[in-house]
Amino acid sequence: MPDKKAVLHLLIILTLLTACTQTREIERLGIINTMGVDISEDDQQLDLTMIIFQFDDQAAGLTKTLIGKGNTMRAARDDASTRSAYHLVTGQLKYQLFGKDAAEQGILRYLNTFVRDATTSETMLMAVSNQKAEETLSTGQELTEINIGQFLYGMIEQEEVENKIPRSDLQMFSRTQFAPGQDPWLPVIDIKEELPTMVSMGVFQDDRYVGEISLKEAFYLNLFLNRIQPAPLELTLPREPFKPYMPGGQEDNGNKEDLHIKIQLKGDTTAKLVDKESLRYQVDVKVKVRLDEFSEVVVVKNEKVAELFEKEIAKKIKSEYESLLKKLQEMQSDPFGFGKLYRIQKKDGEMTSDEWRELFPRITADFHVEADIVHYGTIQ
């Protein structure tokens, strides 16, 4: 038999612990799902837009928009709470949108709040808005039938799942931002045809937004950073080499110079610093390609034609990477992480971001692309 005194002590402890637990009825909570951060043009204070869920059956709708102002995130949230009958909590915060003005000044000070908050998920997605974040969220909430935060989260998550863009969550940004030799990136959202749309990928110097690359270039960035599974990609190749394999292709067909192809591509990339003094890198890109569709009929009936496609696809991807590197060097942003490869070869393994800013524009990279057609037939 257990000791009666021990059992009594246990019951007392459990009672006290239960009494200390703070409970809140869900009907009294405003659960923050999405936040938008802007810098006020008038006083340079923080303007915070929040989309919240409210489960009170007396409320007019499930979703509500609140706006607060303050010098810090917490102060702005407290300001917004004075206009709400609900206790605001961040336990379901899934999406954070930064107005371009705020992103250009640096977003680390806003992220610190969430890094310290155990209720914030590291998988919270983030993006930059071409308009004010408040405008994008408010307009988007009027135009979409679901919560705008859920809409944007689903849109970006789907692009990541399909390997079209690299991850863009809180964990990725924080880890990259604090690693000298690599800069972060975030999707850019704009209002197009009356709907919030991802239009490009923003690139950063440390935590400051400095420019953007196209979504196709974001695909190449993802291929550089990760081993990717089959993902769709459209390429423009020169038409001339394929004319012998086009029915009637000897004709100019309206003087067209390009052949547009849609492919499925999977592969990975390895990069290494081959000459530390001259800052020269070698990048090997190996991809497997499935031909899906052409803008004109091309008969791919033997290995000779397939090898021609492999050659032209490899040349195109190589050219795209060279152009992308040049663009990033002009913006002095290194999302590729060439700086990390340089840093690990230093004797002490130490390097500052400022040091890499001086070196990055001077690096050269030899891109070697190997394309392998895994399926071919008569494609139209």
pLDDT of 82-115, one tens digit each? 876 666 666 678 899 999 999 999 999 888 877 6
Which pair of structure tokens corresponds to residue 124?
A: 């919270």
Residue where one domain finishes, among candidates 186, 213, 240: 213
Note if the pTM is more than 0.85: yes
Place of tokens 């209002």: 191
pLDDT level of residue 7 (50, 70, 90 thresholds): very low
Domain co-membership, 125 together with 242: no
pLDDT of residue 261: 95
Please give the average per-residue pLDDT across 168-180, as a whole number. 89
Q: Is residue 15 domain-resident?
A: no
Q: Residue 11: inside a domain, yes or no?
A: no
Lowest mean pLDDT among 254-268, 329-343, 366-380: 366-380
Q: What is the pLDDT of residue 8?
A: 47
In a domain, 67, yes or no: yes
Q: Of the residues 169, 184, 213, which one is the last residue of a structural domain?
A: 213
Residues 234 and 279 in one domain: yes
- Provide the pairing of β-strand 258-275 with 280-294: antiparallel
In the block, tokens 């250009």 appear at 104
Strand 87-89 and strand 195-205: the pairing is: unpaired
Classify residue 256 as exposed, middle or buried by CB count within 10 Å of its CB (0-12, 13-18, 19+).
exposed
The domain tally of the chain equals 2
Q: What is the C-alpha separation between 335 and 218, in angstroms, rounded? A: 10
- Give the separation between CA 339 and CA 360, rounded to whole angstroms: 7
- The DSSP letter of residue 243 is G
- Ordered alpha helix ranges (H), the chain: 4-20, 73-81, 100-105, 108-115, 133-143, 148-161, 170-177, 215-225, 303-331, 338-343, 353-359
Specify whether 203 is located in the same domain as 244.
no
CA dist 61 → 65, 146, 317 (Å): 11, 11, 49
Q: Tell me which of 180, 213, 246 is where a domain ends.
A: 213
Same domain, 206 and 232: no
Contact 188, 338 (CB under 8 A): no
In a domain, 272, yes or no: yes
Contact in structure between 52 and 150 (CB atoms under 8 Å): no
* pLDDT at 19 (0 to 100): 45
Instruction: Please check whether residues 134 and 54 belong to one and the same domain.
Output: yes
Tokens of 139: 């307009």
Query: Within a domain: residue 13?
Result: no
Cα 311 from Cα 370, distance rounded (Å): 8
Residues 313 and 189 in one domain: no
Report the C-alpha gap between 73 and 37 in whole angstroms: 9
- CA 144, chain centre distance (Å): 22
Is there a single domain that holds both residue 374 and residue 343? yes
83 in a structural domain? yes
Are 193 and 283 in the same domain? Answer: no
Does residue 166 share a domain with residue 36? yes
pLDDT for the residue 274: 97
pLDDT attached to residue 216: 97
Is pLDDT at 55 greater than 80 in this prediction? no
Tell whether 233 and 181 lie within a shared domain.
Answer: no
SS3 163: coil
**Same-domain check for residues 193 and 234:** no
More confident residue, 213 or 378: 213
Q: Is residue 17 part of a domain?
A: no
Give the model's pLDDT for residue 91: 63
Residues contacting 156, CB < 8 A, separation 6+: 125, 127, 165, 168, 187, 198
Give the CATH number, domain containing residue 254.
Answer: 3.30.300.210
Q: How far is CA 353 from the centre of its chain?
A: 22
Give the side-chain half-sphere CA count within 13 A for 256: 17
- Tell me the residue range of the domain where 118 lies: 26-213
The arithmetic mean of pLDDT across residues 37-59, rounded, is: 80
In this structure, the answer to whether residues 207 and 245 fall within a common structural domain is no
Query: Residue 296: left (phi > 0), alpha (psi -120 to 50), or beta?
Result: beta
- Please check whether residue 301 lies inside any domain of the structure: yes
User: What's at 303, amino acid-wise?
Assistant: E
Judge contact between 124 and 130, C-beta under 8 A: no
- pLDDT tens profile 137-159: 988 777 776 788 888 999 999 99
In angstroms, what CA-CA distances link 207 with 8, 68, 113, 175? 56, 23, 15, 11
